[in-house]
Amino acid sequence: MSSQNERDLSPMAQDRMQKVAEYLWQSNLLANRLVELPLAYLLAEGVTLQCKDEDHQKLINAFWSDPINNWPLKLTPRVRALGLLGEQCYIANVRDGDGFVRLGYLDPRQIATVVTDPDNPEQPIGVVTKRDNRGKQHKYRVVVLGEDGDLFSANTARIRAEDFADGECLLYQLNKFPNGSRGRSDLLGQIDWLDAYDEFLFNELDRIGYLRSFVWDVTLTGADPEAVKKYEKEFTPPAPNSTFVHNDSVKLEPMAPTLQAADTSESARLLRNHVLGGSTTPEHWFGGGGDVNRAAASEMGEPTFKIYTGRQNFLKLALEEIGRFVLWKAAQASGEKPDWADDRWQVTAVFPELVNRDVTKFAAAMVSVVTAVVQMIDAGLLTEETALKLVADVAQRFGQDFDAKTELEAARKEHADRKAKRQADDNFNFSADEREALRAGRAGTLPGTSGTQNVPAGGDASAEAQ
């Protein structure tokens, strides 16, 4: 029941990729930054799981902060390992009685095979581990939120029930083909170039050491070969700040090597940028300023943040699925069936902003847009709903998202309510008949008011207002 196919690396290549990726992260400064920089942008301020239902939120909070799960502490190393190894697998341990979930970590390097659905090679159904020191091999069902009978064919459901009976696991993979079974490291395409960059720098370090070396060149005038050999044995290089005494037949000079090596800074930059470009990382993020100014640097960061947004979306979906799995197991324990279409059962992973927004330019744009649309409405060139849609486009840059039609209806109602309240509070807006009634001292509830107006005979509205 092997899932090995041409879309996957060979098992030996898969193991080597993971080992080398780990090694480079620890020993290669450039590789380390390619892994750690995305982590800082994605997770530095922390991540939370949120539910609209209060009871579900309490359950999610208990799972998230459980001493064994401890996601606030373990999330960063788990995401780091996901990028390095291309896979993450968590063994689900479900407590009897209440269905509370604790997750154990399965090292991707201990995975022997990921088995896919015979009817759908895109869907993994099981994970088979390598044999441990005691020869034991484990087979876990990959979690899919739902009943096997409703999701898989009878044959696939039977395979999952009979062949993967050691428990359930949550499996997440990166950089794989839809019909592949194993994930790949983010560094796979750059491993050789990262190693070459390190070797280049070490060779350059050796060259610098050679350039700083020198030898003493001794010239003996009129000496025969025997005299030269004798002097070589007796000669002692002078120590620093010492005296070397000789006659005119001996000449002593320090000789430094002239390797005629060209400036290698451009070669280093070429090699470094080849690696950085492969990861969509701007040069100035790794200490190389080049010809970049502040405006150009801002624009160069946009492709990188798009890549980070894609990774953030992947992590978001993974964490939300884990959250729904927690709710599902609790529901199974209580005999309840989740309705995934209901907002009560939805889980939202909230990540930090990737970049700090420069709100000044958006504020200026908002002022310009509002001024323009008001003028167009007054001139009869634009409807209010379309105008509000234009304003909503700018508001999205501030993180505010709303439906123009709904907002317009709510704004009109709120405006009418405020206008009615102002009129009710202003006694000078009463009609002539209403003012006459007040002067006559007749009590009653006047139109547009919410209370009873009692004014003594001969009084007027201004006195009551005072």
Q: What is the DSSP string of 43-73?
A: HTT--EEE-SSHHHHHHHHHHHH-TTT-HHH
Q: Name which of 109, 223, 125 is nearest 169 in CA terms.
A: 125
Q: What is the predicted pLDDT for the residue at 48?
A: 94
**3-state SS assignment for residue 117:** strand
Q: Name which of 106, 109, 125, 129 is nearest 117 in CA terms.
A: 125
Encoded amino acid at 1, one letter: M
Q: What is the predicted pLDDT for the residue at 239?
A: 84
Lowest-pLDDT range of 128-132, 434-438, 447-451: 447-451
Q: Name which of 302, 42, 27, 360 is nearest 19 in CA terms.
A: 27
Please return the burial class of 440, using the count of CB atoms within 10 Å of its CB with bins 0-12, 13-18 and 19+: exposed
Q: Look at 431 and 324; give whichever has higher pLDDT.
A: 324
Chain centroid to Cα 363, Å, comes to 27
Average pLDDT score, the chain: 84
Q: What is the predicted pLDDT for the residue at 452?
A: 46
Lowest-pLDDT range of 21-35, 296-310, 363-377: 296-310
Instruction: Provide mean pLDDT across the span 264-285.
Output: 82
pTM for this model (two decimals): 0.71
Query: Do the beta carbons of residue 97 and residue 333 sit within 8 Å?
Result: yes
Q: Look at 121 and 204; give whichever has higher pLDDT.
A: 121
Task: Inform me whether the pLDDT recorded for 328 exceeds 80.
Answer: yes
String of b and e for 386-416 (b: at least 16 CB within 10 Å)?
ebbbbebebbeeeeeeeebeebbeeeeeeee
Task: Inform me whether the pLDDT recorded for 263 exceeds 80.
Answer: no
Lowest-pLDDT range of 20-24, 47-51, 340-344: 340-344
- Chain segment 366-418, per-residue pLDDT in tens: 888 889 888 888 888 888 888 888 888 888 776 677 788 888 888 888 888 88
Please tell me what DSSP assigns to residue 445. Answer: B
